[in-house]
Chains A and B, each alone.
Chain A
């Protein structure tokens, strides 16, 4: 498999549930990212990981908990979410800096919180 994959593609969860989103990149990159894309709002960067270390947390509520066990895998653990957290969650990867090569995105997980 090539590129960046995300599972599941669609997720419906209640506000009291706990679920996890998974991202895997097959590009040999060292940096991984979580973004949130809501309707009619700009793309929001949530977290950045470099060589498994978190280097950016963009004031994300603690009900979102990222985990990066290695440079190829990234998880987003979800608990006690709110309806306004419904969005498309995109994972991306890049070499250790995005200046020249750009970031490569997965297809996203469409999350609906009921």
Chain B
């Protein structure tokens, strides 16, 4: 079956550091890939997405590239801010299927 694996958290960084959160997936078809972010006390927000191989999703300074050869969709940001502290979820959806398969989430804390 389909699955998503994220790097274990929690991750703690200093402000302006470079961020990478690893995400790899297993899927039988050609999935779409997503990153969601959950700020404290809130629901999940769609951060970025990519629907085919080599697509790059980007939003709010975050980027992730759909790598079919390595089945990965790593999240990166060049310079993090305290306001980026949240839980980040990687997810996939098979084409024609409605279910999103989520990773377990990675808690990110940015210290000033």
Q: Could you list which residues of chain A lie within 8 angstroms of chain B, going by C-beta atoms?
A: 4, 6, 31, 42-43, 45, 48, 50, 55-56, 90, 92, 94, 96-100, 102-108
Which of B18-26, B45-53, B66-74 contacts its partner? B45-53
Nearest residue (CB) in A for B87 is A37
Residue among B44, B98, B103 making CB contact with A90, cutoff 8 Å = B44
A90–B43 touching, CB < 8 Å: yes
Decide: A102 near B34, CB < 8 A? Known: A42-B104, A90-B44: yes
A100–B32 touching, CB < 8 Å: yes
Residue among A43, A55, A104, A108 making CB contact with B98, cutoff 8 Å = A55
Q: Could you list which residues of chain B lie within 8 angstroms of chain A, going by C-beta atoms?
A: 31-32, 34, 36, 41-46, 49, 51, 89, 93-100, 102-105
Residues of B within 8 A of A104 (CB): 46
Complex Cα gap A94–B41 (Å): 22
B98–A31 touching, CB < 8 Å: yes
Complex Cα gap A106–B46 (Å): 11
A99–B43 touching, CB < 8 Å: no
B43–A100 touching, CB < 8 Å: no
- The winner among A31, A50, A103, A108 for most chain B CB atoms within 10 A is A103
Complex Cα gap A50–B96 (Å): 13
Residues of B within 8 A of A50 (CB): 98
A107–B102 touching, CB < 8 Å: no
Nearest residue (CB) in B for A58 is B99
Complex Cα gap A42–B99 (Å): 14
